[in-house]
């Protein structure tokens, strides 16, 4: 059980009725925090040793997609290592670095597992674990290409590790459903189940082109709370927003509720203007069970990292009341 109250937090602005509100000092991570970073976004943050650690997507000034390790005392001010993360891998074929992006980090028992979109003849889900954020042991890729948005559950379900993913194509995929897979050992993934398709345009247009899991799902009495991104294909290109769903605790491929309205969509300058305009892309959250507080880290316009806050019980109520 979570007892640590120490997490980044800012109260809902006075007069606001928003379920999710933005940190007033967004973006928390600027694009040029590193000497050679073009952009830092779509990144993963976890509690670590009474403070915070993270794996960050840093695109460099060659526009190569790299992962970097970072540390923070308060979850707001980050020190990111300038040197890209290098995985230790027993298999040369798998360990050969091509590109990596959109990391998630999930604590399961005593290991922090990193999943990311890993270049191996196209994007697939790379896997690694660490206990100290120094040595990262790379495992086999979970799936065949093409796949993105591999998101682990924080405990075994029915005796097996569990992961959501989003089969895709080799480009800017114009489709995408969320699937569930199980593994006895973090190497062999199977028993694939369909979770969710994009919504019908008439019901919920922000999520009608493709969807993908965001932060690690949170276990609640009402089911797994999943924050996920959804995409609308407008006449100016893709628009990435995010919403919420509740998945069955023992059979997480069964969707109990799914929000019709988005929780957050690109509306501020730093979400609407950047290398890829109109993107809010959540990859991590911190929460506190006692107060119900949640802090969501999300990539903004593929350029910087933002932070938004809310209360889990309010998000659950919203998900149920607006469910499609
Ligand atoms: C997706 C991923 C994300 C990115 C988004 C918007 O396909 O590549 O990394 O944030 O597109 O460009």
Q: How does pLDDT run across 224-256, given as a tens digit for each residue?
A: 999 999 999 999 999 999 999 999 999 999 999
For atom 2 of ligand 1, which residue has the closest CA?
102
The per-residue pLDDT for 6 is: 75
Q: Is 296 exposed, middle or buried (0-12, 13-18, 19+ CB in 10 A)?
A: buried
Spell 191-201 as b/e; 16+ CB within 10 A means b. eeeebbebbee
Nearest to 120 by CA among 101, 154, 136, 97: 97
Most ligand 1 atoms within 8 A of CB, residue of 40, 42, 145 to mutate: 42
Q: How far apart are the first and last CA of the chain?
A: 31
Strand order in the sheet with 65-72: 37-48, 51-60, 65-72, 79-80
**What's the rounded Cα separation, in Å, for the pair 281 and 296?**
10
The residues pairing with 243 across neighbouring beta strands, listed in sequence order, are 228
DSSP state of 208: S
The per-residue pLDDT for 201 is: 97
**Alpha carbon separation from 245 to 23, 81, 104, 236, 259 (Å, rounded):** 23, 34, 18, 27, 6
pTM of model > 0.85 = yes
Pocket of ligand 1 (CB under 6 A): 42, 101-102, 172, 240, 276, 279, 281, 299, 302
For atom 12 of ligand 1, which residue has the closest CA?
276
**Alpha carbon separation from 210 to 231, 233, 263 (Å, rounded):** 5, 9, 16
**What's the rounded Cα separation, in Å, for the pair 214 and 279?**
13
Q: 310 near 263, Cβ under 8 Å?
A: yes
Q: 283 C-alpha vs ligand 1 centroid, how far in Å?
A: 11
Angle at 232 between CA 227 and CA 237, to 5 degrees: 125
Q: 109 C-alpha vs ligand 1 centroid, how far in Å?
A: 30
Q: 42 C-alpha vs ligand 1 centroid, how far in Å?
A: 8
Nearest to 182 by CA among 235, 253, 117: 253
**Alpha carbon separation from 167 to 117, 124, 127, 174, 311 (Å, rounded):** 11, 9, 16, 11, 31
For atom 1 of ligand 1, which residue has the closest CA?
172
The per-residue pLDDT for 5 is: 56
Instruction: Specify the residue for token string 């830092």.
Output: 40
Q: Ligand 1, residue 102: give the atom nearest the CA.
A: 9
Instruction: Specify the residue for token string 């990391």.
Output: 103
Q: 207 C-alpha vs ligand 1 centroid, how far in Å?
A: 15
Helix (H) or strand (E) holding 223: strand 223-234
Low-confidence ranges of the chain (pLDDT < 70): 1-5
Q: What's the Rg (C-alpha) of the chain?
A: 18
Q: 302 C-alpha vs ligand 1 centroid, how far in Å?
A: 7
């Amino acid at each position: 059980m979570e007892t640590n109250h120490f997490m980044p937090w800012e109260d809902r602005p006075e007069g606001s009725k928003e379920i999710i509100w933005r940190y007033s000092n967004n973006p928390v991570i600027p694009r040029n925090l590193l000497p050679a970073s073009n952009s830092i976004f779509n990144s993963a943050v976890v509690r670590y040793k009474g403070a915070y650690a993270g794996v960050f997507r840093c695109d460099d000034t060659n526009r190569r997609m790299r992962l970097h390790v970072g540390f923070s005392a308060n979850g707001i001010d980050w020190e990111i290592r300038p040197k890209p993360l290098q995985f230790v891998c027993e298999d040369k074929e798998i360990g050969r670095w091509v590109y990596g992006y959109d990391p998630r980090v999930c604590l399961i028992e005593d290991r922090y597992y990193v999943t990311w979109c890993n270049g191996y003849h196209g994007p697939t889900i790379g896997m690694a674990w660490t206990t100290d954020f120094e040595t990262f042991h790379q495992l086999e890729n979970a799936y065949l290409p093409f796949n993105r948005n591999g998101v682990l559950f924080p405990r075994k379900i029915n005796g097996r590790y569990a992961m959501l993913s989003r089969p895709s194509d080799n480009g800017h995929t114009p489709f995408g459903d969320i699937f569930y897979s199980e593994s006895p050992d973090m190497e062999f993934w199977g028993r694939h189940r369909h979770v969710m398709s994009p919504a019908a345009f008439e019901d919920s247009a922000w999520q009608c082109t493709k969807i993908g899991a965001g932060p690690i799902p949170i276990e609640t009495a009402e089911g797994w709370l999943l924050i996920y991104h959804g995409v609308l294909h407008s006449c100016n290109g893709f628009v990435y927003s995010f919403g919420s769903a509740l998945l069955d605790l023992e059979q997480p491929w069964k969707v109990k509720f799914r929000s019709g309205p988005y929780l957050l969509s690109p509306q501020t300058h730093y979400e609407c203007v950047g290398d890829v305009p109109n993107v809010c892309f959540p990859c991590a959250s911190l929460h506190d069970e006692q107060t119900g507080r949640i802090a969501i880290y999300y990539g903004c316009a593929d350029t910087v990292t933002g932070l938004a806050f809310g209360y889990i019980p309010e998000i659950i109520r919203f998900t149920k009341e607006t469910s499609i």
